[in-house]
Amino acid sequence: MPEIKYNCYFHTWERWMDGEIVIGNLRFIYDFVAEDSGDLGDADHIINPFSEEGARKHFADMGIPNIEFVYPNYDYSDAISEMNKVDNLISNIIKMTNKIRKEEN
């Protein structure tokens, strides 16, 4: 059986973990979320407990008992935090623009 890895996109398990399963040269996006995350997408897998241990159990139940978890050298959470700030700024600009347009009418 080829070596199977789960490449985590984040350093910590906080409400969600995005990542990919790697089997040889094949890669599959595989995301986890906590039940209380409020962000349950179609492709997300809910695990309990929400941790590496919970994910290991999830994979073992699928017949993959010895998956290796690989964490990034870079903490993407800082970049995501900055992207969220920009997203909020853009959202506020749109709201202000819509308000101005409404007042003009």
Instruction: Please check the confidence at residue 62 and state whether its pLDDT lies above 90.
Output: yes
Percentage with pLDDT > 90 across the chain: 41
pLDDT band at 29 (very low <50, low <70, confident <90, very high): very high
Rounded mean pLDDT, 14-22 = 91
Q: Which string of DSSP letters, residue by residue, matches 2-59?
A: --EEEEESSSS-BSEE-EEEEETTEEEE-EEE-GGGS---TTEEE-SS-SHHHHHHHH
43 pLDDT exceeds 60? no
Residue 75 pLDDT: 62
So what's the pLDDT on residue 74?
67
* Mean pLDDT over each residue of the chain, to the nearest integer: 86
In the prediction, which pLDDT does 68 show?
95
Contact in structure between 48 and 25 (CB atoms under 8 Å): no
CA-based diameter of the chain, in Å? Answer: 67
Tell me the C-alpha to C-alpha distance, in Å, between residue 73 and each of 8, 16, 20, 105. Answer: 10, 18, 16, 53
Cα distance between residue 59 and residue 79, in whole Å: 29
What is the model's pTM?
0.64
